[in-house]
Structure 1
Amino acid sequence: MFGFDISSVSSFVSQEHYRNYFNRPDSLTQGGITASMAGGSFVGSLVSSDFQDIFGRRVALHVCSALWITGAIIQSASQNQGMLIAGRFISGLGIGFGSASAPVYCSEVSPAKIRGLIGGLFQLSVTVGIMVMFYIGYGCHFIDGVASFRLAWGLQMIPGFILLVGVFFIPESPRWLANHERWDDAVEIIANVVADGDREDPDVHLQLDELQEQVLIDKDAANFGYADLFKKDCRKRTFIGVSAQIWQQLCGMNVMMYYIVYIFEMAGYSGNVNLVSSSIQYVLNVVMTIPALFLMDRVGRRPLLIGGGIFMFIWLFGVAGLLATYSEPIENFGGDDTVRILIPDEHKAAARGVIACSYLFVCSFAPTWGICIWVYVSEIFNNRQRAKGAALATSANWIFNFALAMFVPSAFRNITWRTYIIFGVFSVCLTVHVIVQFPETRGKTLEEIDKMFKDNIPAWRTSSYVPEMPIVHKEKIGSTEHIENASNLSEKPIMVHEEESV
């Protein structure tokens, strides 16, 4: 659904039926239509943190699907710009719930050794959604009349219904269950996920021991709020998480997705050729996301983020240079004043160079910043901080998504190719930031990552860092105050002691 959001308008921004029905929106108005969904997502991601802490991750995902379906109905029935914006805003509320809840759920339910793979499936589904929705829009643009965009937006309800039904068949987060004293359910889910139901498996014992220790900490901070994210013990990871999501927007990828049709118009492509050429970008986004599912847990998060940043600024500066050198000013493109430059036919090689740089940019983003950030942000916060931290970071992503979607059409109109210089500079900055402050989280449990932050290890040393974790013992006692229901794991109740470090 997140992916459907990104490309639900991109295939129609230059279509005559769409432009005529909605009174030929200018660059600022079109920015508002596109950005309205990101605005709703910003609000939804903030509200979702308290909601998912109280009612659980599964309920939050159900709310996501219900809001998305409602918004899709309103969009497909839109009679004017205001109704379209309202429908997109409501769908955005749902996406805000989902984008804050789904990565947290993935990190909490998956074993450490495959957490990157499981979390990466979130971004893969986004890229598939982007591609599918763009091709739906492409197919519908052949329909003569307003049914072209109405049908496309109505079909957005399908993934909403799939999620609504599918959530009934997935388990609740064991960490959420443990924090709500439902240890029997938490143990059962951990055993099923980690060892096919074998409660005596060593990995089950290890994961449960770590969870028990973390839950005791959580109970001491039950009233954790957004203000607490900026206290001394949490300030660093909050800054990293929020910055990571902001950089994902400022690198310019969603601009490439929302307004790819405009970019290809600057290169001199129009009509059906433009849409087909643009669609290749979405295919590449899906294909290049798949390797990252395995690279994250083999290569690590830091190398992928650093390498992705370097390649992205190379291709962005390449687009800017080609457009600056070979494009010529025009008043508008097919009556749309957003596009003010055009590469003429005598410089077709330069036009193909712009297209190649756009494709290579996507190939650099998808396996790095596209997939790693959602996994990474859900990993760096401990249980006490995660729901609020992930929600705040996600909201930062959405507010910058909103700002870029709103104002990039105006930037194309006013500063043309210089827009890409700005995003190229941002990509340089994000690369430097990763090098100096983003720690490596590959192969570490969520509890080990928490210890790493507490030990204040420099980012460039975290790949080889091995935390000193407390010894966890199981002892037979008459009763246990903390985790009474955990006794289903074995015949002995469990109590956590901290002794000397190993």
Structure 2
Amino acid sequence: MQVGVSVGTFSAVLLHPTSFKDSWQTSYILIESMWIRCHLIRRRQNCPSHQPNSEKEVCTNESLQESVAMPLAQGLSAASHLPRQSMHNGCGELHKALCGEPPAVEMFSKFPKIYNVYFLACIATMGGMLFGFDISSMSAIISTDQYIEYFDNPAGVVQGAIGAALAAGSVVGSIIAGPVSDKFGRRDALVFACSFWIIGTVLQIAVNGRGMLIAGRVLNGITVGITSSQVPVYLAEISKHSQRGAIIIIQQLAIEWGILIMFFIGYGCSFIPGETASFRTAWGMQLVPCVLFLIGLPFLPESPRWFAKVDRTEEAIFTLAKIQADGDLTDPYVIAEYEEIITVLTAERLAPRSWRKFVYNGMWRRTLAGFSVQAWQQLSGANVMTYYVVYIFAMAGLQGNIKLISSGVQYALFIIFSSIMFFFVDKIGRRTLLVWGAITMGICHFVVGGLLGANYTYVPEGVQGDKNVVMLVRGAPANTVIAFSYLLIIIYALTLAPICWVYAAEVWSLETRAWGMGIAAIGNWLFNFAIGLFIPPAFLNIKWGLFIVFGVLCLLAAAQFFLTYPEASCHAIGFDQGPYAWKTKKGSAHLDEDVNAISTAQAKGEARASIERIAEKHKSVSDVKTENV
């Protein structure tokens, strides 16, 4: 008996759930197919009856074929312990799942769940707003008199350490995010993350010096590291492939709204009189999005793919149907996607289960792409603008409130142009946006660096008394620097800002996604830390040359994007399109073909046959070849 047939039989029953009430035979078929599937995917789990002899054991072709060929009688024997009345009346857990009653879950089970994918995205991406709040909590404050006086005018490496503390914590958060997410679920990992944010914010409110400020930002960073890696994972796992880019862009928009809102909160707080009330009030406002996030999280269902990954089949089916088809278990998309999840997951469990799974059998390409796309996002130099835009505008001669308001305009442009990409991201290829975005950003850096280098006046005591700013340009060159700074942010908002998060979420397989996105986020936060730490001293030492460095890095990024990044738009998550990345094109996932086949077969009354045809398209578990390593 082949796995495809069992999956096909199971899906056929999904198409005709009313047969539960009419036939014991159909019930036996369902239980048998489910029993075989569960036996296969639990072989390598911590189950007493299926536990491997050693941690290094890898399931072979032969052992899997043995499992698949186990007699139907054993499945029926396992089912015979269920009371006849319970099975006939549909009181078993499987029937509850298939007939529309959600099975109980351990956490937040008493809260009603939201299943509209856009509402889910809006709640989940409140985690991105935390990131945005923390960025601007420094951007609007570092140039105020209260901050400069209370923290003894931190400059160079000291200010860099304060700015980079968030990224340092985020590296830690990214490292622990994968294990926590795989163990407790995507949603519960986000709940766990919020505890660090609350403690870190309290430390910043009560700050009494540089050390306490850095400690609070490190704790906030742990939260950001977890949310920045696991929110995209959650969004990728609940959305259809045709809308995945737009859904994940909501995360980027939440970050940008957080930056904008907090920047103007900080600007408003700068008028509060007193020695420390201005920045304590501004940093205290960071609790607001965290509280809203915690209020919304219990209403989120867990990811159906995570349910499938941990063998909670009933919840996986029920949640998938509710999110994608308003609970309709006969919907072709639900059937096709669930089959794909199970087929892919079962095959992936043949692979090595240690860290080797990130490099075996060509997986190193995905690991490199996921890590490097996030690293290049930081090395593009855009965060020089988001973190230290007030310094750049001070170099251009802007002062006081004009400088702060002009900096806020940048964040508004960021939101406007990222919002535009919400409607077009899934219509344009990922490669196109990455390659051309990096090239045009590089040009902007060269223009800004060239203008500063050719026209600046050296101010050793610091422009407007700020020791971090020692260059000053005036007139037309200054206006051009401001214009190209805005243009760089616009290009970034249209290309690398959203696409790097989308691509990093798409590149991983189901088995590696939580840990893999953590690896990608480590790439982001390691370089974010380096940039946050070294930008202030770089302004002092290499001055305008810093922009030339970022221009060169952007061109190098474009080269890697073109040569090694296959197109991911509208392909299945965890795609594999061969070794020649530049030959790949925007396409459609085989899931679309499966959906069309099911729809056609349903119209002809041949649903069961169509499911079996679809199952034949996928690799069965017995066809997957792995090395016993």
Normalised TM-score (structure 1) = 0.91
| Partner residue, 2:323 | 193
For residue 218 of structure 1, report the CA deviation from its aligned partner. Answer: 3.8
Alignment of structure 1 residues 158-169 onto 2, 5 Å? 158-169=288-299
For residue 414 of structure 1, report the CA deviation from its aligned partner. Answer: 0.6
Alpha-carbon spacing, 1:311–1:499, altered in 2? closer, same or farther (3 Å): closer
2:432 maps to 1:298: no
| Partner residue, 2:582 | 460
| Partner residue, 2:568 | 441
For residue 225 of structure 1, report the CA deviation from its aligned partner. Answer: 3.7
Alpha-carbon spacing, 1:144–1:500, altered in 2? closer, same or farther (3 Å): closer
Alignment of structure 1 residues 208-247 onto 2, 5 Å? 208-221=338-351, 224-247=353-376
Alpha-carbon spacing, 1:36–1:210, altered in 2? closer, same or farther (3 Å): same
2:49 maps to 1:49: no
| From 232, 240, 245, the counterpart of 1:116 | 245
Amino acid at match of 1:459: A
| Partner residue, 1:419 | 546
Alpha-carbon spacing, 1:158–1:191, altered in 2? closer, same or farther (3 Å): same
Alignment of structure 1 residues 53-202 onto 2, 5 Å? 53-145=182-274, 146-202=276-332
For residue 292 of structure 1, report the CA deviation from its aligned partner. Answer: 1.3
| Partner residue, 1:380 | 507
Alpha-carbon spacing, 1:464–1:340, altered in 2? closer, same or farther (3 Å): closer
2:137 maps to 1:8: yes
| Partner residue, 1:311 | 440
For the residues of structure 1 that align with 2:353 and 2:232, how far apart are their CA atoms?
A: 20
For the residues of structure 1 that align with 2:594 and 2:391, how far apart are their CA atoms?
A: 58
Decide whether the 8 Å contact of 1:312 with 1:427 is kept in 2.
yes
State the superposition RMSD in angstroms: 2.2
- State the number of aligned residues: 475
SS of match in other structure, 2:503 = helix
Alpha-carbon spacing, 1:243–1:137, altered in 2? closer, same or farther (3 Å): same
SS of match in other structure, 1:9 = helix
| From 162, 167, 180, the counterpart of 1:38 | 167
- Residues 310-356 of structure 1: CA distance to partner in whole angstroms, max 9, x if unpaired? 2111111111111111111111123322111101xxx4211111100
For the residues of structure 1 that align with 2:542 and 2:582, how far apart are their CA atoms?
A: 38
Decide whether the 8 Å contact of 2:570 with 2:587 is kept in 1.
no
Gaps spanning 5+ residues in structure 1: where? Answer: 474-489
Gaps spanning 5+ residues in structure 2: where? Answer: 1-129, 596-606, 620-629
Decide whether the 8 Å contact of 2:168 with 2:526 is kept in 1.
yes
- Residues 261-303 of structure 1: CA distance to partner in whole angstroms, max 9, x if unpaired? 1101111112111101111100001111011112210012111
- Residues 141-178 of structure 1: CA distance to partner in whole angstroms, max 9, x if unpaired? 11122111000100001111111111111110111101
2:390 maps to 1:390: no
| From 265, 271, 279, the counterpart of 2:394 | 265
**Greater mean deviation of Cα atoms: 95-104 or 18-27:** 18-27
For the residues of structure 1 that align with 2:193 and 2:404, how far apart are their CA atoms?
A: 30
Amino acid at match of 2:583: R
For the residues of structure 2 that align with 1:256 and 1:204, how far apart are their CA atoms?
A: 43
For the residues of structure 2 that align with 1:440 and 1:497, how far apart are their CA atoms?
A: 26
Alpha-carbon spacing, 1:57–1:85, altered in 2? closer, same or farther (3 Å): same
For residue 58 of structure 1, report the CA deviation from its aligned partner. Answer: 0.6
**Greater mean deviation of Cα atoms: 18-27 or 229-238:** 229-238
SS of match in other structure, 1:142 = coil
For the residues of structure 2 that align with 1:199 and 1:498, how far apart are their CA atoms?
A: 22
Give % identity. 40
For the residues of structure 2 that align with 1:462 and 1:111, how far apart are their CA atoms?
A: 21
For the residues of structure 2 that align with 1:423 and 1:396, how far apart are their CA atoms?
A: 17
Normalised TM-score (structure 2) = 0.73
For the residues of structure 2 that align with 1:471 and 1:132, how far apart are their CA atoms?
A: 44
- Based on CA coordinates, which of the two structures has the bigger radius of gyration? 2
For the residues of structure 2 that align with 1:500 and 1:91, how far apart are their CA atoms?
A: 44
For the residues of structure 2 that align with 1:97 and 1:393, how far apart are their CA atoms?
A: 12
For the residues of structure 2 that align with 1:463 and 1:398, how far apart are their CA atoms?
A: 30
For the residues of structure 1 that align with 2:356 and 2:453, how far apart are their CA atoms?
A: 46
Alpha-carbon spacing, 1:227–1:32, altered in 2? closer, same or farther (3 Å): farther
**Greater mean deviation of Cα atoms: 357-366 or 460-469:** 460-469
Amino acid at match of 2:224: I
